Amino acid sequence: MSSPPAKQDSDLWQSKAMAFVTRSHRHLWGKNNENPLAFLFQCGLKNRFAKQILLGWNKFGQYRPRKNWGLEKRSCRSNGPNSNRLFLPPGIVIPSIIKKNLVAVFIVPYEGDNPTAWVAGGKTPTMILGNLSGPVIVTDDLLHGLFIFQETEEKTGVIVHPVPDLPLDSELEEEIRQHMDWPVFLSPHTKDTLKKTGFKQIPKSRIQLYRNKEEMLSLIGPY
């Protein structure tokens, strides 16, 4: 997956992306939604929390003209009908909203083995939940990060970078550097998959590994 184009209409992207998030949110809480709701329940996410963070459901994959989302045409050799269209795959839609601004949209498949998708045009491919002034959990699993944030009553900082091929933005790297006094909790899987990102700068002395959600919750309990 490539980085967003250097030039784009950010206001138009915001408008289109927010409309997609809103529409997907209505679909999740509408009719014939048993499968995605059951999936979220199995992930440990509560309905109240899912509604609060505007989770949604995109039932069918959709192609949209890139220009309609404020994105430049891609220079590619393919002449296929969808080579210059934005693809919104089916799955659970997870918006990242900071200070009332939509900065990213992710789509997590709940069927098949497809990876998490980041919708091109977003400001950052990293999701931050809460603040980083205390213990921080770093993960590449969006639903896992949401669960931890929910279970710690939204008081723990969570950094989710679900597409390791995309780099961290410089502002987040600087924020990580400024919070070196608190422990950073990583799953062994995340520790391996995020080596190529800015997380590699975290000192080993700060890192505590955990094997599952239950162990994570017990580790951060004292903080």
Report how far residue 219's alpha carbon sits from residue 223's, in angstroms, rounded to the nearest whole number. 8
When pLDDT is averaged across residues 124-135 and rounded to a whole number, the result is: 85
Percent of the chain with pLDDT over 90: 39
Report how far residue 191's alpha carbon sits from residue 199's, in angstroms, rounded to the nearest whole number. 9
Q: What's the CATH code, domain 10-118?
A: 3.90.980.10
Does residue 79 surpass a pLDDT of 90?
A: no
pLDDT tens for 28-46 read 999 888 999 999 999 999 9
Q: Is 136 left (phi over 0), alpha (psi -120 to 50) or beta?
A: beta
Tokens at 112, concatenated: 């098949």
Q: Is 118 helix (H, G, I), strand (E, B) or coil?
A: strand
Report how far residue 150's alpha carbon sits from residue 46's, in angstroms, rounded to the nearest whole number. 8
- Which range scores top for mean pLDDT: 57-66, 108-117, 166-175? 57-66
Burial class (CB in 10 A: 0-12, 13-18, 19+), 157: buried
Range of lowest pLDDT (15-29, 169-183, 208-222)? 169-183
pLDDT tens for 91-119 read 999 999 988 899 999 999 988 788 899 99
**Domain locations along the chain:** 10-118, 127-220
Does residue 200 surpass a pLDDT of 80?
A: no
Range of lowest pLDDT (51-60, 106-115, 180-189, 205-214)? 180-189
- Predicted local confidence at residue 3, as pLDDT: 43
- Predicted local confidence at residue 17, as pLDDT: 96
Does residue 133 surpass a pLDDT of 70?
A: yes
- Predicted local confidence at residue 2, as pLDDT: 40
Does residue 56 surpass a pLDDT of 90?
A: yes
Report how far residue 73's alpha carbon sits from residue 19's, in angstroms, rounded to the nearest whole number. 22
- Predicted local confidence at residue 223, as pLDDT: 62
Minimal CA–CA distance to 87: which of 69, 103, 72? 69
- Predicted local confidence at residue 18, as pLDDT: 96
Print burial letters for 104-119: b (CB count within 10 Å at least 16), e (below 16).
bbbbbbbeeeeebbbb
CATH (one of 2.60.40, 3.40.50, 3.40.720, 3.30.70) for 127-220: 3.40.50
Range of lowest pLDDT (126-135, 138-147, 189-198)? 189-198
- Predicted local confidence at residue 139, as pLDDT: 84
